[in-house]
């Protein structure tokens, strides 16, 4: 336990005397833990801990439960009247807590099904197959007439009949295996299983391979009975459940397909649909695994290659012969439709033009109890906590903005359009973006973030209690990480890993388009009803979080993180972790390049030198930050601290390359972006790694030079803090 720097008994008494009465109340409890908070002076730590103590006491399980029940009463696909009703609910709740909150509208290109898709077995027999999920008698909302049939966002209308080929997960390597087996998918319909990548990747690869249509199903090996008991007995996907979702080519660009890089507001020119490069051209249809069984079981042709076998109780064959033919039809209603973000703000008292942004999406494919409204409930509880503090006289130093995004499920649309509309302001003013999508599907905490915010995440996790164990969230997180390490590593004391940010949620436009430092976090668990009608209040109350204690913990973590970023005298960023992480990424890439005999195609020394310089500057800034915080009462140091804070907040921007990534110019971050085939997962040093994957030595050299330039720009920003 680290004592407060420079605090004595006398200074504690003096500080206590000058604190406002409402802060002095209960002060003895605060003395139990005198750990200095990163970014805060001794006096600032005491003030912050007292405010945090009051904040942590506000979020409640009963209130979170009430929010979730209200938000999951009806299916609320983006752009529908039910979706609008949730926007009004969130706005009005925020206003009732004393926050300024408004709706922000965008007009975006969305599809709904005109009629249920048709998946029909033509041979060896004729049978029309189900594209709706079954009613589960135990779950009252599963019979709601507003539940859409299974469909994919951004699938085009199409009507094709062709032989069927089973292509495993539908990734490039799977098609390579089919070719080795003598199976060509050109002119055929492919059936692929969910998993290992984003569904839009599966549609894109199928299209590139010449398939005329794509059927996607959830295999029981991945999230069904092979994982455990299925719903309603357990949390896993039942036989008649499918996964909706967008097949937008998110790896090209997110947001409204017709306004890439620009907001979907009146006066902004729109692309013709045929010119949009993030839309698939072949019909795509999701189905449940009881339906998939009827399609895969009769397939002839070669027995599946290694890794193709799923969990259905027979040997999979890959098909491609005329023995099994399928009729696939999708009929879509595409229109420009209105969506509604909700944006609330708490203006800062000292630095109003520095923004700490919290975001979560609100739209769902059906009820969305886990995805996303566990996050919406947590946001509302955090906002309720802020409201209580405001009534007690608290005001953050920096502005806090809370955003409830719409149409995330179609392709991060609400967040992307807002970020594109306010791009200039965000690049000037944003401190950080704190994302929560799925706040709760279980009890296991995890986080992803840029490395400069790793220490902040761990610090906050130390100060929030895990509802089940009574330990801190941090300790529970560490214990689980230790237990999951290989036996040979059990003695190591390394901290639980914080992941890299890829895509698939609303941090994407902030980090990868604008260069705003970002985080994403939540509590996970056994969750097999993703994007189905069974992601419902009943599922959450029986499996995800029956006590709603983890909704409370999520609100506490999220709100406390925002408060520390908003209130710290010296922003709690640490770029030394960033430098070490970039070096680790590059070391991995070099090892990969050597295995492919490509190491002579690029200059390792220049990259390592750039990282070393970045590290030296990060260490220097950190030392100066600590000194300035300790002497914050000195007016000269206040000016220095302001300069350091500016550098810390904007160094991430320097990792943006205005030219964009190769062939994907919307993505501009040189360190973090999704790969073309990785789906939601990050592919660090993205273009450089892709060039190595492609064995393209010219691109590898050019891409690494761009990375080096970006690191040098970030180093220069940090250096300016004390030049």
Q: pLDDT of 568-603, one tens digit each?
A: 999 999 999 999 999 999 999 999 999 999 999 999
Q: In whole angstroms, how far apart are CA 220 and each of 217, 246, 391, 635?
A: 10, 21, 51, 64
The proportion of the chain whose per-residue pLDDT surpasses 70, expressed as a percent, equals 93
Residue 1 confidence class, pLDDT cut points 50, 70, 90:
very low
Q: What is the pLDDT of residue 36?
A: 87
131 and 120 Cβ atoms separated by less than 8 Å: no
Distance from C-alpha of 424 to C-alpha of 427, rounded to nearest angstrom: 5
Distance from C-alpha of 404 to C-alpha of 340, rounded to nearest angstrom: 9
Average pLDDT, the chain: 93
417 and 433 Cβ atoms separated by less than 8 Å: no
Cβ contacts of 723 within 8 Å, gap of 6 or more: none
E runs forming strands in 63-212: 100-113, 118-123, 127-129, 152-153, 158-166, 189-193
Fold match between domain 115-330 and domain 575-719: no
Q: pLDDT of 282-334, one tens digit each?
A: 999 999 999 999 999 999 999 999 999 999 999 999 999 999 999 999 999 99
Long-range interactions of 220-223: CB distance < 8 A, separation 24+: 220/289, 220/310, 220/311, 220/312, 221/309, 221/310, 221/311, 222/193, 222/194, 222/195, 222/310, 222/311, 223/194, 223/195, 223/527, 223/528, 223/530
458 and 510 Cβ atoms separated by less than 8 Å: no
Helix (H) or strand (E) holding 400: strand 398-405
Q: What is the pLDDT of residue 33?
A: 52
The yes-or-no verdict on residue 21 having pLDDT over 60 is no
Q: What is the pLDDT of residue 32?
A: 38
Q: Which residues of 168-206 are buried (b: 16+ CB within 10 A; e: fewer)?
A: bbbbeebbebbeeeebebeebbbbbbbbbbbbbbbbbbb
Distance from C-alpha of 356 to C-alpha of 345, rounded to nearest angstrom: 10
Q: What is the pLDDT of residue 487?
A: 66
CATH architecture of 69-109+338-567: 3-Layer(aba) Sandwich (3.40)
The yes-or-no verdict on residue 541 having pLDDT over 90 is yes
Vertex 166 angle, CA 164 and 172, to 5°: 120
In words, the CATH class of domain 115-330 is alpha beta
Q: pLDDT of 243-285, one tens digit each?
A: 999 999 999 999 999 999 999 999 999 999 999 999 999 999 9
Vertex 280 angle, CA 279 and 283, to 5°: 135
Distance from C-alpha of 337 to C-alpha of 520, rounded to nearest angstrom: 28
Question: Where do the domains of the chain lie?
Answer: 69-109+338-567, 115-330, 575-719
Q: What is the pLDDT of residue 29?
A: 39
* Residue 306 per-residue DSSP state: T
Q: What is the pLDDT of residue 26?
A: 41
Closest CA to 331 of 203, 160, 175, 477: 160
The yes-or-no verdict on residue 24 having pLDDT over 50 is no
Point out the residues that are catalytic: 408
441 and 374 Cβ atoms separated by less than 8 Å: yes
Beta-bridge partners for 442: none
Vertex 87 angle, CA 81 and 93, to 5°: 140
Question: Which parts of 596-665 fold into alpha helices (H)?
Answer: 604-630, 635-650
Superfamily of domain 575-719: Transferrin receptor-like, dimerisation domain (1.20.930.40)
């Amino acid at each position: 336990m680290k004592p407060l720097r420079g605090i004595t008994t006398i200074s504690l008494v003096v500080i206590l005397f000058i604190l406002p009465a409402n802060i002095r109340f209960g002060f003895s409890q605060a003395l139990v833990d005198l750990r200095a908070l990163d970014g805060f002076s001794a006096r600032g730590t005491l003030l912050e801990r007292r405010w945090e103590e009051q904040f942590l006491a506000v979020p409640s399980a009963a209130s979170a439960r009430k929010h979730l029940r209200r938000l999951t009463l009806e299916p609320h696909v983006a752009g529908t009247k039910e979706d609008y009703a949730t926007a009004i609910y969130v706005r009005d709740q925020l206003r009732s807590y004393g926050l300024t909150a408004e709706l922000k509208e965008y007009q975006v290109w969305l599809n709904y099904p005109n009629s249920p898709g048709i998946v029909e077995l033509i041979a060896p027999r004729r049978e029309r197959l189900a594209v709706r999920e079954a009613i589960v008698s135990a779950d009252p909302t599963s019979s709601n007439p507003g539940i859409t049939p299974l469909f994919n966002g951004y699938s085009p209308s199409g009507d094709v009949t062709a032989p069927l080929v089973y292509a495993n997960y539908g990734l490039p390597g799977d098609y390579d295996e089919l070719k080795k087996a003598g199976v060509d998918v050109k002119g055929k319909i492919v059936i692929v299983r969910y998993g290992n990548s984003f569904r839009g990747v599966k549609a894109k690869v199928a299209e590139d391979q010449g398939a005329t249509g794509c059927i996607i199903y959830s295999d029981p090996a991945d999230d069904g009975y092979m994982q455990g008991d299925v719903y309603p007995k357990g949390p896993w996907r039942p036989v008649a459940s499918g996964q909706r979702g967008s097949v937008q080519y998110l790896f090209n660009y997110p947001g409204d397909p017709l306004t890439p890089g620009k907001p979907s507001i009146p006066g902004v020119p729109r692309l013709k649909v045929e010119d949009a490069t993030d839309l698939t051209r072949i019909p795509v249809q999701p189905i449940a695994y009881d339906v998939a069984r009827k399609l895969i079981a009769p397939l002839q042709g070669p027995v599946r290659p290694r890794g193709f076998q799923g969990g259905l109780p027979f040997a999979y064959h890959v098909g491609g012969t005329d023995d099994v033919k399928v009729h696939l039809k999708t009929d879509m209603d595409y229109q420009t439709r209105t969506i509604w973000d909700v944006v609330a703000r708490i203006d800062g008292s000292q630095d109003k033009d520095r923004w700490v942004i919290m975001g979560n999406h609100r739209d769902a494919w059906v009820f969305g109890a886990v995805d996303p409204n566990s996050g919406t409930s947590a946001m509302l509880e955090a906002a309720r906590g802020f409201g209580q503090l405001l009534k007690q006289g608290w005001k953050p130093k920096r502005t806090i903005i809370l955003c409830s995004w719409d149409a995330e499920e179609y392709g991060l649309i609400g967040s992307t359009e807002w970020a594109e509309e306010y791009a200039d302001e965000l690049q000037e003013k944003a401190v950080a973006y704190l994302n929560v999508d799925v706040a709760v599907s279980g009890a296991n905490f995890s986080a992803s973030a840029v490395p400069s915010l790793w220490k902040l995440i761990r610090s906050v996790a130390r100060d929030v209690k895990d509802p089940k164990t009574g330990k801190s969230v941090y300790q529970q997180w560490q214990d689980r990480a230790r237990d999951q390490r290989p036996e040979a590593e059990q003695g190591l004391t390394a901290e639980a890993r914080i992941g890299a940010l890829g895509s698939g949620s609303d941090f994407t436009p902030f980090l990868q388009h604008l260069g705003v430092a970002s985080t994403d976090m939540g509590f996970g668990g056994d969750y097999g009803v993703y994007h189905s009608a069974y992601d419902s209040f009943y599922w959450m109350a029986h499996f995800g979080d029956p006590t709603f204690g983890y909704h409370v913990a999520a609100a506490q973590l999220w709100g406390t993180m925002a408060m520390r970023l908003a209130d710290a005298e010296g922003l709690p960023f640490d770029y030394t972790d960033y430098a070490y992480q970039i070096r680790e990424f590059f070391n991995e890439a070099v090892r990969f390049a050597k295995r492919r005999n490509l190491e002579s195609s690029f200059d390792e020394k220049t990259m390592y030198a750039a990282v070393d310089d970045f590290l030296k500057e990060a260490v220097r800034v950190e030392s100066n930050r600590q000194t300035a915080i300790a002497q914050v009462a000195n007016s000269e140091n206040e000016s220095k601290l302001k300069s350091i804070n500016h550098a810390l907040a904007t160094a991430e921007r320097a990792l943006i390359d205005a030219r964009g990534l190769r062939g994907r110019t919307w993505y501009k971050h040189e360190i973090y972006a999704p790969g073309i085939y990785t789906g939601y997962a990050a592919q660090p040093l993205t273009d450089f790694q892709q060039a190595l994957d492609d064995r393209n030595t010219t691109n590898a050299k050019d891409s690494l030079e761009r990375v080096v330039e970006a690191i040098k720009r970030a180093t220069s920003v940090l250096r300016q803090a004390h030049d």
